[in-house]
Structure 1
């Protein structure tokens, strides 16, 4: 008997018709259940890692480098430009997830407050130690005898002055230092020129250097100048905690803040408190990162002296420090997971 004839015979049988109807209903039920399950249990969505970008080059380059590492491990990464003052509230709310480069002299007060309220998490210090203070390029010492002693500043104030001014100009950025208090306490004949970002400071420095003109700026170490331009920090009276709180301490018996910023200060990492829960392998990886002074200064130099973009500099930086990066990855679960944190 031909196949078509056999099929007609089967489906003309009442029992076969019943079986066919039951089978069809079963298939429809399975389809409905599968659709319902799929819509209520969608595939896990990979969490985007949000990395803040501040307004100095080493932080931007190293943050870009970390983002590139995370992307190789299949993490979606978003970079968010944000100033250092606003990032703590954003981090507390999970709008950014970690900050890789936090400097004690300019950020300790705010971070201490957020940590004490458990709004951000301290992930520990880097090996690198920080200095942030007044600085001049090496050639200026010949123009102002007595430097780096701070008392030479007033004797040379006119050399550092803008046109039609008898006060020296001190170029700084948007960060929270106690320079106004320092100027008043030490009776310095200087005025503050506050610029919007680090690159604006470096433009002033390059302009002065091109003409061998005297200039004094806010600088920090580790920074690109360590690797590319010799210079020296002004030697103010040595820092002591009492300098900030006791007017009777120091060279001015009536005013506080008559001292330098703290030397050998920490550089730390901070994170969103829920990072360990939400992105455990990212948390482990960031906790493992340990930056040396050379690594930070080289990151800045690639942009501020060599002229590369943040992204291009990050690639060169990763090549130069690949051994360190591999070690950080090896010591965290980021290197061993089969799928990213979800």
Structure 2
């Protein structure tokens, strides 16, 4: 179902988008189905795209989809496009989808992602030697819970986000247990609680995220990533294991059903052009997750402040 905007945001977006030149008729009135995943940044990016497509006259639907299942759904246009695929945590689902010939990569979203293990700054007093990863070998008890003792706890990504941390903990021979969080909200709650109670925490997390403007979260300095360390035991610090290195610094990609370009060429061109920076997304996420504003209000704010960018995308998409 097409999302219904609240009245204030609808009026604001209408005034912003209504100021642009008349746009061409859409090639098809069939719905363009954009996937909605479970983290705020992805929802914001997708709704920005949806509002621009709506302005172009397209019928847009937002479809809640699992991060991994959406890669299969894209192959037959069950969903049409997914706009925030982190290449570092999609495992081989991205490559399989592209390799099928039914899904096309339509470019980088523009975000510069960082994914690794983080801890609150105050934990350095409780586990001397941090941020060096080897310090974790001598203080697992600092991070232990009733669920993991005598091992430490690593609060991991939700299972359906994809994670290599069990392999990485084994590869680095660290006495920790990976415990998946249930959602992004659960990860955030863990971090907030750690700072409020001054309790130790080791957590898999990512940037851009509003948390880094509020909390002093520091990355563990893992052994540098070297090509092959995830596949070849001879590469990395442990000659008997793989994943004995840092995470690959990947990219955030946009993907679409391969038939989209032919069926909706102007819409396809718009999604190709769509970009958002870390700073822009962090600001919008903060508006929603901390200031209590709605997705619609944050999208209206972005549209108002970035008209020169998106108006050029609309113009180029219809040439």
Partner of 2:291: 306
Rounded Cα–Cα distance in structure 2 between residues aligned with 1:307 and 1:159 = 34
| Equivalent residues in 2 for 1:1-342, closer than 5 Å | 46-107=29-90, 109-163=92-146, 165-172=149-156, 173-174=158-159, 175-263=161-249, 265-333=250-318
Rounded Cα–Cα distance in structure 2 between residues aligned with 1:139 and 1:316 = 36
User: What's the CA shift for 1:45?
Assistant: 6.5
User: What's the CA shift for 1:117?
Assistant: 2.1
Q: Secondary structure at the match of 2:296?
A: helix
Deviating more after overlay: 66-75 vs 309-318 = 309-318
TM-score, normalising length from structure 1? Answer: 0.79
Rounded Cα–Cα distance in structure 2 between residues aligned with 1:104 and 1:139 = 31
User: What's the CA shift for 1:275?
Assistant: 0.7
Unmatched runs of 5 consecutive residues or more in structure 1: 1-43, 337-342
Unmatched runs of 5 consecutive residues or more in structure 2: 1-26
User: What's the CA shift for 1:189?
Assistant: 1.5
User: What's the CA shift for 1:61?
Assistant: 1.2
Rounded Cα–Cα distance in structure 2 between residues aligned with 1:83 and 1:210 = 31
User: What's the CA shift for 1:181?
Assistant: 0.7
TM-score, normalising length from structure 2? Answer: 0.84
User: What's the CA shift for 1:240?
Assistant: 1.6
- Checking the alignment, whether the CA contact within 8 Å between 1:134 and 1:216 is kept in structure 2 is yes
Q: Secondary structure at the match of 1:244?
A: coil
- Checking the alignment, whether the CA contact within 8 Å between 1:104 and 1:130 is kept in structure 2 is no
User: What's the CA shift for 1:321?
Assistant: 3.3
CA change 1:293–1:90 in 2 (3 A) is same
- Checking the alignment, whether the CA contact within 8 Å between 2:270 and 2:314 is kept in structure 1 is yes
User: What's the CA shift for 1:59?
Assistant: 0.3
Rounded Cα–Cα distance in structure 2 between residues aligned with 1:125 and 1:108 = 18
Would you say how many aligned residue pairs link Structure 1 and Structure 2?
Answer: 290
Residues 11-63 of structure 1 show CA distances to partners (whole Å, capped at 9, x for unaligned) of xxxxxxxxxxxxxxxxxxxxxxxxxxxxxxxxx97221211001111001111
Rounded Cα–Cα distance in structure 2 between residues aligned with 1:118 and 1:77 = 24
- Checking the alignment, whether the CA contact within 8 Å between 1:227 and 1:298 is kept in structure 2 is no
